Amino acid sequence: GEGLPRPAATRVIVVANQKGGVGKTTTTVNMAASLAMHGLRVLVVDLDPQGNASTALGIDHHAEVPSIYDVLVEGKPMADVVQPVVDVEGLFCVPATIDLAGAEIELVSLVARESRLQRAIAAYEQPLDYILIDCPPSLGLLTVNALVAGREVLIPIQCEYYALEGLGQLLRNVELVRAHLNPALHVSTILLTMYDARTRLAAQVAEEVRTHFRNEVLSTAIPRSVRISEAPSYGQTVLTYDPGSTGALSYLEAARELAQRAVGPGGGSLVGQQRG
Ligand code: ADP
Ligand code: MG
């Protein structure tokens, strides 16, 4: 790929929005693939019991596969559960299995229940440029673990009615975690997803989001695209499924913005966890 800047330290990005169906998983896997195809080393952590990110990356995640559950609940090293993504060099995945559905409850009684993912990531010694964490559609202990482990929050927003509803709750949670557990945490990026340029509503919602989050919203919006929605059923990201499609190009462009903003003026995200 045509070089994107390599961050000085691993950027750990939490992809979160407690609404389901807004494009968290789609954004996680396609941004991750875009960064990897530019020559960066990227790890996707699937933190949703549905395992949609694992599926989209073509990673086997039936019940017996070692997964993020073993890391969070059993304390297994991340290195033992990471799998390479076939077809995309430099892209790796920690899969989620259905076991993870019980973790929300099981974590409650464990020591350091909020920081188990953070500890596992800190102990993982492989050099990585990016870690993208795909959150479930809730604000429970799994999402809290992601917010403690990450430094940046990326919020995908679907341009429809009620897009901003519930966002306040996520922002309050980010603020709580920042105040008590992870002082570096901040919302660094907002991505408009499933954008339909033909509707006035989409334009209005986009305008409203850009007014609220002037510095965070990427100028690239991801269009609604059939190719994007078809790719997961082939165990692929749209980057390999249909590299020339508008969906693929928009994610490449969004990833370029994400990578470049951090090193540009005012980008505070470079102060990261130092690489081994
Ligand atoms: P979340 O992880 O927030 O629940 P997903 O990423 O799974 O959301 O997306 C929800 C649904 O919308 C999925 O079926 C996905 O394939 C589809 N989708 C996501 N982004 C797009 C897009 N840009 N164009 C068309 N379909 C999309
Ligand atoms: Mg999802």
- Give the CA count within 13 Å in the CB-facing half-sphere of 10: 24
Is 61 within a domain?
Answer: yes
Dist. CA 181–CA 149, nearest whole Å: 10
Residue 274 domain-assigned? no
Q: Is the pTM of this model over 0.90?
A: yes
Nearest Cα to Cα of residue 114 among 139, 148, 138: 148
What pLDDT score was predicted for residue 98? Answer: 95
Does the CB atom of residue 66 touch ligand 1 within 6 A? no
Q: Is the pLDDT of residue 268 over 60?
A: no
Which region among 82-86, 195-199, 222-226 has the lowest average model confidence (pLDDT)? 195-199
Tell me, yes or no, whether 102 lies in a domain.
yes
234: CATH:
3.40.50.300
- Is any ligand 1 atom within 6 A of the Cβ of residue 225? yes
Output 12 or 264, whichever has higher pLDDT: 12
Q: Is the pLDDT score of 59 beyond 50? A: yes
Q: Is 137 in the pocket of ligand 1 (CB under 6 A)?
A: yes
CA of 183 to the centre of ligand 1 (A): 31
Give a yes or no: residue 144 inside a domain.
Answer: yes
Domain that holds residue 25: 11-265
Q: Is residue 271 assigned to a domain?
A: no
Please state whether beta strands 42-46 and 11-15 pair in parallel, antiparallel, or not at all (unpaired).
unpaired
* Residue 64 to residue 67: CA distance in whole angstroms: 9
Total of domains in the chain: 1
- Which of 264, 120, 137, 113 has its CA nearest to residue 188? 264
Residue 185 falls inside a structural domain: yes
Closest CA to 105 of 78, 138, 65: 138
Residue pLDDT, tens place only, 243-261: 999 999 999 999 999 999 8
pLDDT (tens digit, 9 = 90+) per residue, 100-141?
Answer: 999 999 999 999 999 999 999 999 999 999 999 999 999 999
Confidence tier at 160 by pLDDT (50, 70, 90): confident
The DSSP H or E segment spanning 249 is helix 246-263
In 3D space, the residue among 129, 166, 122 whose CA is nearest the CA of residue 16 turns out to be 166
In a domain, 3, yes or no: no
Residue 147 domain-assigned? yes
Q: In testing the pocket of ligand 1, which one of 19, 26, 253 has its CB within 8 Å of the most ligand atoms?
A: 26
pLDDT in tens, 181-218: 999 999 999 999 999 989 999 999 999 999 999 999 99
pLDDT (average), residues 157-178: 91
When the pLDDT of each residue in the chain is averaged and rounded to a whole number, the result is: 93
Ligand 1 within 6 A of 272 CB? no
Q: For ligand 1, say whether the CB of 202 is within 6 Å of any of its atoms.
A: no
Q: What pLDDT, on a 0 to 100 scale, did the predictor assign at position 263?
A: 55
